A and B are shown apart, each in its own frame.
Chain A
Amino acid sequence: MTNIVLDVDELTTKYITRFREDIYAVDHVSLQVEEGRAVGIAGESGCGKSTLALSLMGYYFPPLHYSSGEIVIDGQNITEMHPEHVRKTILGNEIAYIPQAAMNALNPTMKVINFIEDVIHAHHPRMPKKEIYELAVERFQLLGLPPEVLQKYSVELSGGMKQRTVIATSVILSPKVLIADEPSSALDVTSQKMVIKMLKDLMDKGIVKAMIFITHELPLLYHVVDDIMVMYAGQIVEKGTVDEVIFDPIHPYSRALMGSIIVPEEGLRDVKLTAVPGTPPNLKNPPSGCRFAARCKYAMPACRATSVELEDIGGGRSYRCIIPEDELRKAYEREDKER
């Protein structure tokens, strides 16, 4: 039986605004990542995927607060731990997080090697500099980064090189889980390829055991992750393997997302891309029924009446909609014929 490295159960976290309002940006999210697998989280801006990424670290800065649920990393329940203990022993050691525009984390007044020393000393204060240097060289070489970079300042590096440096640094202590939030956005296509290759190497070479990859660029997910979760308004609305969700989406929102993919392939010019009108609901007062109902073309009065649960339909697939799977599929087939 494969080891579940990351087990998240009904995690709920909230932003508390200065008017003391609670905004549940991550609403009862459950997910499991097995050793050796990568999970992608897709969804539009504001769906909560970056907040989910932050929340998985187990270390919260106001205005983000933990509300309920559990996060278990390789058997350790980090939600029960004291925040200082999480900061010292979990962050960087067990779980690492690469935020958007991570390359900006590099201190322009420090050489890369000094930056790495800082990172390591935060968790292993007594590791000698020589040992840190050897570890850094070994790790950089393993990941295809020239060790000369260690002696450079960040201003001497290109955007792609900076991003790869930060990624390599964030996993230098070989954490079990890596969370990457849009690691290759804002990079040109060539640098993007290098970053993606590095992330795949991290998994293939066993440096990290599980990965969560957050992006709104679906074609990237297709080549990087094994499973996808689609997020909408703070909730997971669909789960499945990458092939299932991209080529055979069940939830209307997933279908709209997949229908908006632009790739330079034959057939792209023959169909009209889907665009979902409207915007996600305000999470200050989320709708009582399905959160997607207001923008959903299949919505019925029943959709707005009661909240909808994520339904497990077997084989690791689940989706959050009251309309039966086969009815949705029939509707999709009809539409595809008309397009």
Chain B
Amino acid sequence: MNVKTKSDEILRGVGLTKVFGMGAGKTVAVDHVDFSFKKGEVISIVGESGSGKTTLAKMLLALTTPTEGEIYFEGELRNVASHGKRKEYWKNIQAIFQDPFSSYNIFRKIDSVLLDCIKMRGGRNFSKEKKEDLMREACSFVNLKYDELTNKYPFELSGGQQQRLMIARIFLLKPKILLADEPTSMIDACSRATILDMLMDLRNEVGMTPIFITHDIGLAYYVSDTVYIMERGRFVEYGTADDVILNPQEPYTRRLLSDVPKLHEPWDLSTVG
């Protein structure tokens, strides 16, 4: 009998490690990382490029196999050994990536993107009207007009619209966990709030656990309950958003924060090499 150790825990990692290469030239991208995420908790993993955050994301998404360590989903050891099991897992965890322009198959129209999602949730045999209703609902959730989009290709939309369409996908798929890898870094600063609010609304609506992977510590501070700071494959600090950002303990966290221009503090450029 499997006993769930924490009934509200959705994802746990124990000693998660990913090593690339062998011998002297090997790279430890993720170095014995531990974590426990609760259902509905908004998590951000903050790190610069090379910190290992994307590799960690890929392991969480079962896109790459850990070298060491275990992942527990809803208290049980995750089994993604076969393609079939991975597909089952992907009903529970989905992702939005940084580059909306390269996330789509350029040969398929927008309708097919959304219909795929409906099928994945068992709606293959829904009537045409029901499918259209679902697609319309998903589009309106992200402030896109389905009637204007139908028959268009994704590349006919702006970056912000494409990213919102990605969110519409998630609205249809209703995964338990959403991994958002730099969801707004290619979006205009003034449109970022829209995307973030939509993701938060989605979390409230479907009870999803969002995990943000980002280099933008400001974004992490705005949306998160818990922030993890990642440096060279390890979590160097973590805690509530207020604790980590307003009261950072680790020198690396402090440095990350001082590198970001703020509005109510001078920006010390004298430390630049």
Q: A residues bordering B, Cβ < 8 Å?
A: 44-45, 144, 188-190, 192-194, 196-197, 200, 216-220, 222-223, 246, 256-257, 260-266, 268-269, 272-277, 279
Q: Are A262 and B192 in contact (CB under 8 A)?
A: yes
A-B pairs with the 10 shortest C-beta distances? A273-B193, A275-B194, A219-B261, A275-B193, A262-B218, A264-B221, A189-B259, A197-B269, A264-B218, A223-B267
Q: Are B273 and A44 in contact (CB under 8 A)?
A: no
Q: Are A194 and B215 in contact (CB under 8 A)?
A: no
Kindly report which residue of chain A lies nearest to residue B224, judged by CB atoms.
Answer: A269
For the complex, what is the distance from the CA of A268 to the CA of B257, rounded to whole Å? Answer: 14
CB interface residues, B 222-273, toward A, < 8 Å: 222, 241-242, 245-246, 256-257, 259-267, 269, 272-273
A193-B272, A273-B222 known; A218 vs B260 contact (CB < 8 Å): no
B149 lies within 8 A of chain A by Cβ: no
For the complex, what is the distance from the CA of A44 to the CA of B192, rounded to whole Å? Answer: 11
Pick the residue among B197, B216, B267, B272 that contacts A275 (CB under 8 A).
Answer: B197
When distances are taken between beta carbons in the complex, the residues of chain B under 8 Å from A260 are: 189-193
Kindly report which residue of chain B lies nearest to residue A201, judged by CB atoms.
Answer: B269
Instruction: Kindly list 12 other residue pairs between chains A and B, CB separation below 8 angstroms, not including A222-B261, A263-B261, A277-B194.
Output: A44-B191, A45-B188, A188-B48, A189-B259, A196-B261, A197-B269, A219-B263, A262-B189, A262-B193, A262-B221, A264-B260, A275-B194
Q: Are B197 and A273 in contact (CB under 8 A)?
A: yes
Q: Are A219 and B262 in contact (CB under 8 A)?
A: yes
Q: Are A268 and B189 in contact (CB under 8 A)?
A: no
For the complex, what is the distance from the CA of A64 to the CA of B193, rounded to whole Å? Answer: 32
* 6 A/B residue pairs, CB under 8 Å, sorted by A: A193-B272, A194-B272, A223-B267, A223-B269, A263-B263, A275-B190
Residue of B193, B261, B272 ringed by the most chain A CB atoms within 10 A:
B261
When distances are taken between beta carbons in the complex, the residues of chain B under 8 Å from A192 are: 259
For the complex, what is the distance from the CA of A189 to the CA of B256, rounded to whole Å? Answer: 8
For the complex, what is the distance from the CA of A217 to the CA of B186, rounded to whole Å? Answer: 12
Pick the residue among B49, B143, B241 that contacts A277 (CB under 8 A).
Answer: B143
When distances are taken between beta carbons in the complex, the residues of chain B under 8 Å from A219 are: 260-263
Nearest CB in chain B: distance from A146 CB, A: 10
Nearest CB in chain A: distance from B52 CB, A: 15
Residue of B217, B263, B269 ringed by the most chain A CB atoms within 10 A:
B263
When distances are taken between beta carbons in the complex, the residues of chain B under 8 Å from A268 are: 218, 221-222
Pick the residue among A218, A262, A276 that contacts B222 (CB under 8 A).
Answer: A262
Nearest CB in chain B: distance from A297 CB, A: 15
B158 lies within 8 A of chain A by Cβ: yes
Q: Are A246 and B259 in contact (CB under 8 A)?
A: no
For the complex, what is the distance from the CA of A260 to the CA of B188, rounded to whole Å? Answer: 10
B219 lies within 8 A of chain A by Cβ: yes
- Binary CB contact string for chain B from 158 to 174 against chain A (1 if under 8 A, 0 otherwise): 11100000000000000
- Binary CB contact string for chain B from 53 to 71 against chain A (1 if under 8 A, 0 otherwise): 0000000000000000000
When distances are taken between beta carbons in the complex, the residues of chain B under 8 Å from A272 are: 197
Interface residues on B, range: 35 or more
Kindly report which residue of chain B lies nearest to residue A198, judged by CB atoms.
Answer: B272
Kindly report which residue of chain A lies nearest to residue B159, judged by CB atoms.
Answer: A45
Kindly report which residue of chain A lies nearest to residue B268, judged by CB atoms.
Answer: A193
Q: B residues bordering A, Cβ < 8 Å?
A: 48-49, 143, 158-160, 188-194, 196-197, 215-222, 241-242, 245-246, 256-257, 259-267, 269, 272-273
Q: Are A222 and B190 in contact (CB under 8 A)?
A: no
Nearest CB in chain A: distance from B195 CB, A: 9
Pick the residue among B194, B220, B262, B272 that contacts A265 (CB under 8 A).
Answer: B262
Nearest CB in chain A: distance from B85 CB, A: 37
When distances are taken between beta carbons in the complex, the residues of chain B under 8 Å from A261 are: 189, 263
Kindly report which residue of chain A lies nearest to residue B269, judged by CB atoms.
Answer: A197
Pick the residue among A189, A196, A197, A264 that contacts B48 (CB under 8 A).
Answer: A189
A219-B261, A269-B241 known; A264 vs B272 contact (CB < 8 Å): no
For the complex, what is the distance from the CA of A45 to the CA of B192, rounded to whole Å? Answer: 12
When distances are taken between beta carbons in the complex, the residues of chain A under 8 Å from B159 are: 45
Q: Are A194 and B262 in contact (CB under 8 A)?
A: no
For the complex, what is the distance from the CA of A198 to the CA of B45, rounded to whole Å? Answer: 30
When distances are taken between beta carbons in the complex, the residues of chain B under 8 Å from A189 are: 48, 215, 256, 259-260
Nearest CB in chain A: distance from B24 CB, A: 23
When distances are taken between beta carbons in the complex, the residues of chain A under 8 Å from B272 are: 144, 193-194, 197
Nearest CB in chain A: distance from B206 CB, A: 21
For the complex, what is the distance from the CA of A261 to the CA of B192, rounded to whole Å? Answer: 9
When distances are taken between beta carbons in the complex, the residues of chain B under 8 Å from A196 are: 261, 269
For the complex, what is the distance from the CA of A259 to the CA of B145, rounded to whole Å? Answer: 26
When distances are taken between beta carbons in the complex, the residues of chain A under 8 Å from B263 are: 219, 222, 246, 261, 263, 265
Nearest CB in chain B: distance from A197 CB, A: 4
Q: Are A193 and B259 in contact (CB under 8 A)?
A: yes
Nearest CB in chain A: distance from B66 CB, A: 26
Nearest CB in chain B: distance from A274 CB, A: 7
Nearest CB in chain B: distance from A293 CB, A: 18
A194-B272, A264-B260, A265-B262 known; A216 vs B188 contact (CB < 8 Å): yes
Q: Are B143 and A194 in contact (CB under 8 A)?
A: no
For the complex, what is the distance from the CA of A264 to the CA of B244, rounded to whole Å? Answer: 10
Nearest CB in chain B: distance from A291 CB, A: 16
Residue of A193, A261, A274 ringed by the most chain B CB atoms within 10 A:
A193
A197-B269, A222-B263, A263-B218 known; A274 vs B193 contact (CB < 8 Å): yes
